[in-house]
Structure 1
């Protein structure tokens, strides 16, 4: 349910459970975490999904069994944020719930038209992953972060783009090529140079 393709220094990680809206099980989260921890050697990482939804977050049955509050979510987003190269979330559709953590941890977010973003922690009675609110605020500011986390608003594609939650739009057929193009300079650069620039940005 997780596919990994490595072409040189470019790693493409794909959530491949389209019949379940790429909802994540404990095993999938663990595998994603291990892949991202191993990707320290990658020049660039593209994280995407199959089907019309990037990810609906936690698998419903797994969430009821405690996955919604598992430390695996934070382990995954921490590993993504620590990648020395460029990380790009290639959003093939809507991202919801806990899946927001891995998307926020990426350096860039490219989405197809029709993508929506929502994180219904208030409604469901959960706290967001520990690092998510700060990352969200860094992208869109505190008031808009409250709109998502406290008011439970579903943000559509244009609003997410206007807010800076998304960085670029791409037609579905061009999504992967758009992301590969964005990674071109980093892929061609000296690893140390790319890592230092990323650290300087913060």
Structure 2
């Protein structure tokens, strides 16, 4: 469900591996993700991605969401763990990003997506509050009005719109996604953890 690869060259890839369920996240997967992020604290770069060619993650598993997962503090714990990593973090979005999965992508330093990706966070419609840090991080990237457009008005963004707004940093073909993500890790992989951490801490 959560697959961890690499690390020998300083670059760790963490994959949401539940493509038959649109990589929707269960409580167990979120716990495994938190553990994988703790284990990656010594890495020089971490890439988060999803299995399959359509969806990075549809958010919470529907059955578990109805049972309370949608409002669990574990979402905030995972996004906080991503944000706290002292190295370069990249969300390689292989497809649509939805719901609670926004948190881990927003907490990354960079977001790269494929052209067919869509972006939506339907909390108003579903009657849930977003994770506490998500509106703050989202507004820092795209501004308050566009944040409200997504969270309150429930609008879906195409990858081109998301790129134009600043939600994602690059749009690349599916075949180039991981190669591009790894290319962005090259300098960090050659660096030292203390310098990477200091550089990262200098950027507000």
Length-normalised TM-score, structure 1 = 0.98
Aligned equivalents of 2:42, 2:93: Cα separation in 1: 23
Displacement, 1:189?
Answer: 1.1
| Equivalent-residue separation in structure 2 for 1:73 and 1:94 (angstroms) | 18
Whole-angstrom distance in 1 between the partners of 2:166 and 2:157 = 12
Q: Does 1:4 align with 2:4?
A: yes
Corresponding residue number in structure 1 for 2:101: 99
Q: What 5-or-longer segments of structure 1 have no aligned partner?
A: none
Total equivalences in the alignment: 202
Question: Which sections of structure 2, spanning at least 5 residues, go unmatched?
Answer: none
Residue 15 of structure 1 and its aligned partner are, at CA, apart by 0.6
Contact 2:97/2:119 (CA < 8 Å) preserved in 1? yes
Whole-Å separation in 1 of the counterparts to 2:175 and 2:101? 23
Distance 1:29 1:55 in 2: 12
Which of residues 182, 186, 191 is equivalent to 1:189?
Answer: 191
Report the alpha carbon displacement of residue 65 of structure 1 after superposing the two structures with TM: 0.5
Please report how far the alpha carbon of residue 191 of structure 1 lies from its aligned counterpart in structure 2 after TM superposition: 1.4
Residue in 2 aligned with 1:48?
A: 49
Please identify runs of 4+ aligned residues in structure 1 that moved more than 6 A: none
RMSD over aligned CA atoms reads 0.7
Q: Which residue of 2 aligns with 1:133?
A: 135
Q: Deviations over 1:177-199 (max 9, x none)?
A: 10000011111112111110100
SS at structure 1 position matched to 2:176: helix
Residue 38 of structure 1: CA displacement? 2.0
The one-character-per-residue Cα deviations of 1:134-188 (angstroms, maximum 9, x if unpaired) are 0001100101100001110001111000000010011111111100000111111
Please name the residue that 1:69 is paired with: 71
